[in-house]
């Protein structure tokens, strides 16, 4: 009987997933080459593994999704003035410490999807900045999509429309695929199908897949060659990366098939929340439940406190599930929602204040 993961009751984020004893045991046999010199076998094998899944010709192991995203975007860009277009909720804009401004010296066009869920080609066409010689502008040089975004699966047909338009207009298209694994499981779309539609994809091993660290950026050989410079420039060169890459490969091989468990937990809790009378901010597609921060009239301060009462770690209006959660913990989350709903009935919270992360 495998030991219960230490983060069995963790719902603040799927970044808290932890390596299993079996994953850690693989480290003993890891290669120990210097991956800065491209000489580490396990790192090369992991990069190859992700390239084969996505159909891209080159891959680059990075210590984080932030690094992977930011060097991808920088590598697509040439010289300012240029703009990046993305959804206003995108991690590359909200949570990567303004890397687009510093590393890429880019303006960012953030777009609120008209449908409230995902960008459409029409959204992009309405907001992109054409390269028409107008000296006032910073033309759009790259569109960055996120899949999943807040757990929402980006419809493949819309990705196809956007990808074709980008290519027809000589605009690069990147995917922040921190949770593209979940998108693939939920939609049935293969990573190879996604791969064809993006010039680069950043895939995280350290979120829902459960590796302790790392992401892989995939793209053309020329793009990855440039990205490797920016990886090194920003301190991302890893010497003996083998142990880390070995765990990443283990996660990909053994945990991809477990993701649906988290999706089922989230769907169950989302249904329960609505049965209570709570309002979801967005539908549950994969491993996140987002409660509406205003309509539920819940004081953000209550969330952590009520979580402690039921021995589950929650901290915001976002509830993140992973395959490492237990049945007991999921029941604990439901008890938290019931208490929050009661509190909101008794003393509705109406302040409109920032809620921190998510």
Ligand X SMILES: Cc1ncc(COP(=O)(O)O)c(C=O)c1O
Q: Which residues bind ligand X (CB under 6 A)?
A: 15, 64-66, 69, 91, 146, 176, 178, 204, 206-207
Distance CA 351, CA 353 (A): 6
Count residues near ligand THR (CB under 6 A): 5
> Cβ(282)–Cβ(323) under 8 Å?
no
Could you tell me the smallest distance in angstroms from the CB atom of residue 28 to ligand THR?
Answer: 30
Got the DSSP string for 175-211?
A: EEETTHHHHHHHH---HHHHHHH-SEEEEESSSTT--
Choice between 146 and 158, CB closer to ligand X: 146
Could you tell me the smallest distance in angstroms from the CB atom of residue 178 to ligand X?
Answer: 3
Q: Is 357 in the site for ligand THR (CB under 6 A)?
A: yes
Give one word for 97, left, alpha or beta, with left for phi > 0 and alpha for psi -120 to 50. Answer: left
Q: Is 200 in the site for ligand THR (CB under 6 A)?
A: no
Residue, CB closest to ligand THR:
13
Could you tell me the smallest distance in angstroms from the CB atom of residue 152 to ligand THR?
Answer: 13
> Cβ(109)–Cβ(129) under 8 Å?
yes
Choice between 95 and 338, CB closer to ligand THR: 95
Residue 357 binding target from ligand X, ligand THR, none, CB below 5 to 8 Å by type: ligand THR
Could you tell me the smallest distance in angstroms from the CB atom of residue 358 to ligand THR?
Answer: 7
Residue, CB closest to ligand X:
65
Tokens of 40: 């580490």
Choice between 15 and 169, CB closer to ligand X: 15
Sheet containing 200-204, strands listed edge to edge, beginning at the edge strand earlier in sequence: 58-62, 215-219, 200-204, 172-177, 140-146, 83-87, 107-111
Residue 10 binding target from ligand X, ligand THR, none, CB below 5 to 8 Å by type: none
Burial of 290 (0-12, 13-18, 19+ CB in 10 A): buried
Distance CA 197, CA 183 (A): 14
Choice between 204 and 298, CB closer to ligand X: 204
> Cβ(42)–Cβ(246) under 8 Å?
yes
Classify strands 83-87 and 107-111 as parallel, antiparallel or unpaired: parallel
Q: Is 163 in the site for ligand THR (CB under 6 A)?
A: no
Classify strands 58-62 and 107-111 as parallel, antiparallel or unpaired: unpaired
Residue 48 binding target from ligand X, ligand THR, none, CB below 5 to 8 Å by type: none
Could you tell me the smallest distance in angstroms from the CB atom of residue 75 to ligand X?
Answer: 17
Residue 206 binding target from ligand THR, ligand X, none, CB below 5 to 8 Å by type: ligand X
Choice between 13 and 43, CB closer to ligand THR: 13
> Cβ(272)–Cβ(334) under 8 Å?
yes
Residue window 6-35: x/- pattern of binding to ligand THR, with contact defined by CB under 6 A: -------x-x--------------------
Near ligand THR in 89-108, by CB under 6 A: 91, 95
E strand residue ranges, the chain: 58-62, 83-87, 107-111, 140-146, 172-177, 200-204, 215-219, 288-290, 318-320
Residues in touch with ligand THR (CB under 6 A) = 13, 15, 91, 95, 357
């Amino acid at each position: 009987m495998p030991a219960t993961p230490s983060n069995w009751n963790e719902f603040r984020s799927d970044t808290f997933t932890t390596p299993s004893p079996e994953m850690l045991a693989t480290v003993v046999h890891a290669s120990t080459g210097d991956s800065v010199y491209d000489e580490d076998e396990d790192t090369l094998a992991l990069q190859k593994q992700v390239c084969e899944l996505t159909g891209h010709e080159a891959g680059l192991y990075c210590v984080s999704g932030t690094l992977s995203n930011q060097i991808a975007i920088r590598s697509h860009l040439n010289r300012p003035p240029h703009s990046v277009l993305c959804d206003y909720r995108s991690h590359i804009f909200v949570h990567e410490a303004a890397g687009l401004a510093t590393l890429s010296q880019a303006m960012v066009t953030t777009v609120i999807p008209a449908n409230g869920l995902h960008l459409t080609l029409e959204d992009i066409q309405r907001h992109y900045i054409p390269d028409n010689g107008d000296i006032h502008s910073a033309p759009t040089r790259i569109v960055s999509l996120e899949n999943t975004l807040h757990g929402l699966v980006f419809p493949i047909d819309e990705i196809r429309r956007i990808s074709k338009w980008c290519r027809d207009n000589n605009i690069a298209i990147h995917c922040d695929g921190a949770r593209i694994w979940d998108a693939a499981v939920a939609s049935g779309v293969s990573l190879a199908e996604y791969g064809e539609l993006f010039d680069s994809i950043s895939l995280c091993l350290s979120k829902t897949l459960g590796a302790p660290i790392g992401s892989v950026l995939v793209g053309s050989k020329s793009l990855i060659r440039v990205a490797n410079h920016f990886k090194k420039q920003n301190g991302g060169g890893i010497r003996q990366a083998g142990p880390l890459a070995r765990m990443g490969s283990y996660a990909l091989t053994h945990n991809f098939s477990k993701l649906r468990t988290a999706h089922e937990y989230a769907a169950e809790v989302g249904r329960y929340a609505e049965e209570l009378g709570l309002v979801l901010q967005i539908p549950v597609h994969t491993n996140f439940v987002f409660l509406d921060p205003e309509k539920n009239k819940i004081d953000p301060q209550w969330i952590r406190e009520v979580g402690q009462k039921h021995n589950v770690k929650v901290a915001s209006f976002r509830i993140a599930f992973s395959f490492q959660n237990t049945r007991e913990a999921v029941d604990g989350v439901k008890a938290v929602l019931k208490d929050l709903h009661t509190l909101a009935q008794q003393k509705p919270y109406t302040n409109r204040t920032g809620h921190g992360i998510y």
